[in-house]
């Protein structure tokens, strides 16, 4: 579940609390964790609030049940010595299990994130947004798309036990071909819910024998109600998604 917590969208009665962002997250986590394997705060929502936003983020992370896999959706990436600092921030200081990383700057921008034992890099491959067509679908002179080259190259950098790939649910028609290139990797699949991706199509094309999918929904669950019943309604939406996923998982 994406914790994309936005002061303009959370129920108004929470704004009176000391830390509305954490209060919202806490109630959402309490209501939904039974149906979620993982929580994914998108870091932009916290960074936009300045130092206080980073405190709300840390409190949220500390509050999450320890059996939840945590994803810093940060899309970082810089030259080697600088990526190492981002890795330290998210893996050591904040203790996230994983971070999303942008591949444009290549191997030395990704490798520092791989040097932390038990942590994961989730590399952007084919994202869910409309702009994913601009460069990710550039066809190279050997007939492959850029996003396929990202898979080929990154498989030389890390095992499927250290790296996952971001593959948007809005590209359900390509997920089968991506699965063929990376049979063992987990895919983080955003774009179900508000962005229009279809969970059934994604599951049919993307499941492997270990499941292999972390399907994310953010806005469709956490903002399902903007009233005082928001947590209860989020719980129902999370359950609905989990029950649907359960049916697809029975085919494993």
Q: Binding mask 1-30 vs its own copies (x if CB under 8 A, - otherwise)?
A: ---x-x------------------------
Long-range contact set of residues 12-19: C-beta below 8 Å, sequence gap at least 24 = 12/226, 13/228, 19/52, 19/55, 19/56, 19/59
- Taking the C-alpha atoms of residue 219 and residue 232, their distance in angstroms, rounded to an integer, is 15
Q: Which DSSP string corresponds to 23-56?
A: HHHHHHHHHHGGG-SEEB-BHHHHHTTTHHHHHH
The yes-or-no answer on residue 111 being catalytic is no
Task: Note the Cα 65 to chain centre separation in Å.
Answer: 17
Q: How far is the CB of 121 from its own copies (least distance, A)?
A: 14
Q: How far is the CB of 130 from its own copies (least distance, A)?
A: 5
**Among residues 13, 17, 34, 140, the one that binds its own copies under rule CB under 8 A:** 140
- Taking the C-alpha atoms of residue 235 and residue 137, their distance in angstroms, rounded to an integer, is 37
115 binds its own copies (CB under 8 A): no
The residues with which 69 forms a beta bridge, in sequence order, are 38
Closest to its own copies by CB, 135 vs 177, is 135
55 binds its own copies (CB under 8 A): yes
Q: How far is the CB of 147 from its own copies (least distance, A)?
A: 9
Q: Within 148-177, which residues bind its own copies (CB under 8 A)?
A: 149-150, 153
52 binds its own copies (CB under 8 A): yes
Task: Give the CA dihedral 32, 34, 37, 41, nearest 10 degrees.
Answer: 20
Neighbouring residues of 169: CB distance < 8 A, sequence distance ≥ 6: 128, 189, 190, 191, 192, 195, 197, 198, 199, 201, 202, 215
Q: Binding mask 72-111 vs its own copies (x if CB under 8 A, - otherwise)?
A: -x-xxxxxx-xx-xx-xx---x--------xxxxxxxxx-
Active site residues: 75
Binding site for its own copies (CB under 8 A): 4, 6, 42, 44-45, 47-48, 50-52, 54-55, 58, 73, 75-80, 82-83, 85-86, 88-89, 93, 102-110, 124, 127-136, 138-141, 143, 146, 149-150, 153, 195
């Amino acid at each position: 579940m994406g914790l994309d917590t936005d002061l303009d969208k959370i129920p108004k009665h929470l704004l009176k609390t000391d830390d509305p962002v954490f209060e919202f997250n806490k109630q959402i986590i309490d209501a939904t964790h039974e149906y979620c394997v993982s929580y994914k705060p998108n870091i932009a929502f916290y960074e936009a609030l300045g130092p206080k936003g980073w405190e709300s983020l840390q409190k949220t992370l500390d509050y999450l049940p320890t059996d939840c896999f945590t994803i810093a959706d940060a899309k970082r990436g810089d030259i080697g010595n600088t990526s190492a600092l981002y890795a330290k921030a998210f893996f050591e200081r904040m203790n996230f299990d994983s971070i999303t990383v942008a591949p444009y700057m290549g191997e030395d921008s990704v490798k520092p994130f791989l040097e932390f034992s038990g942590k994961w890099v989730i590399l952007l491959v084919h994202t869910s947004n409309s702009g994913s067509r601009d460069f990710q679908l550039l066809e190279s002179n050997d007939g492959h798309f850029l996003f396929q080259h990202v898979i080929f190259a990154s498989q030389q950098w890390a095992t499927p036990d250290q790296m996952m790939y971001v593959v948007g649910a809005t590209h359900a028609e390509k997920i089968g071909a991506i699965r063929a290139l990376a049979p063992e990797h987990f895919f983080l699949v955003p774009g179900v819910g508000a962005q229009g991706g279809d969970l059934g199509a994604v599951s049919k094309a993307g499941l492997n024998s270990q499941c292999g999918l972390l399907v994310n929904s953010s806005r469709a669950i956490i903002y399902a109600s903007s009233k005082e019943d928001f947590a209860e309604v989020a719980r129902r939406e999370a359950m609905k998604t989990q029950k649907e996923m359960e049916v697809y998982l029975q085919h494993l």
